[in-house]
Structure 1
């Protein structure tokens, strides 16, 4: 009797051939919509790419749709996207993990991003702020620094109340975006916020 040879094990599919999930498609759809809002692609191209994204079956089909868009996630995390909407949104009342890329859109209700209670191991955080109709406010610790040279002030303007006294090894906020109608403010904590920090200091 001749011994039967074992059947070869199936080879794992290349990354681009892996099947895409609903979440994978939705992530790409969101990135494409953000790119259109930033003027990187026009509405006609957005429509055609969205059609392909919603029908995509593999990671490779999705990858080509965003290959020419900037990837600003040095830490490998997805961007944190905050949208003011109609009622506004705030991030910073408690401890939260800071990704390498934050996108804040003021909408009609406004956005506030407060970094004073975070423990950030990154040396640089890219923040895209779009003031739109209600504005965006960014609060950073005294030791942190800010680079606002890439910001378009728009109609509402950019108000930079930070100091150049950044301590070595602390994060730098690299701010880009547009002021829109209501503008963008970046500053250190005000008197009321400092009082709250003294009463309830961050527990790092």
Structure 2
């Protein structure tokens, strides 16, 4: 319903269409019925609408997340010597797709995506360090697809869902040890 209201406020649908879709949203019984109400909306956020987020591992590494952050349509991660971690687990992303360029270089790049998100890793060259895809294909309606391109380099690229320790942090339970 928030997405529909935002679309009306931004002029992507008129107020009559908003009323019709809100009524349908209130009577929807499945996630699929809800997803259909926003699937045809023109997207304001596109990869060209914001500058890309560029992370460089350098000597000491770099990371984005797990705190909340605004996801642009394009993320570029260079592992460098220190490595890079991009954590999408606490973001709200209204984009249908996020392009992520990952270059493992010496120490690698790790990308963590929430359960329900999916990744397309067909555009990456595994290089010497390889590509490790530990994600599932079970994409929930309304969640983004991470389209991964780039090269593994010597350090490799890993894309996965949260591990046990990260899940405990997400649930608010203290992590011991």
Same-fold status (TM-score > 0.5): yes
User: Partner residue of 2:111?
Assistant: 138
Q: Deviations over 1:46-86 (max 9, x none)?
A: xxxxxxxxxxxxxxxxxxxxxxxxxxx62510000000000
Identify the residue that residue 69 of structure 2 maps to in structure 1: 96
**Correspondence list, 1:26-65, <5 A:** none
Question: Matched residues in 2 for 1:165 and 1:122: separation?
Answer: 18
Q: Which residue of 2 aligns with 1:64?
A: none
Aligned mates of 1:157, 1:168 — CA distance in 2: 30
Tell me the equivalent position of 2:99.
126
**Residues of 1 paired with 2:123 and 2:156: CA distance?**
15
1:127–1:175 Cα contact (<8 Å) kept:
yes
Q: Does 1:155 align with 2:128?
A: yes
- Name 1:108's counterpart in structure 2: 81
Matched residue, 1:87 = 60
3-state SS, counterpart of residue 193 of structure 1: helix
Q: Deviations over 1:118-170 (max 9, x none)?
A: 00010000000000000000000011010000010000000000000011221
Q: Which runs of 5+ in 1 are unaligned?
A: 1-72
Matched, 1:117 2:117: no
Q: Which has the higher contact order (CA 8 A, sep 6+)?
A: 2
Q: Say which one has the larger Rg.
A: 1
Counterparts of 2:121 and 2:145, CA distance in 1: 10
Q: Contact 1:75–1:99 (CA<8 Å) still a contact in 2? A: no
The alignment's C-alpha RMSD in Å is: 1.0
Structure 1 residue 74 corresponds to structure 2 residue 47: yes
- Larger mean Cα displacement after TM superposition, 109-118 or 73-82: 73-82
Residues 13-42 of structure 1: CA deviation (Å, up to 9, x unaligned) = xxxxxxxxxxxxxxxxxxxxxxxxxxxxxx
Distance, in Å, in 2 between the alignment partners of 1:145 and 1:125 is 11
Aligned pairs, number: 128
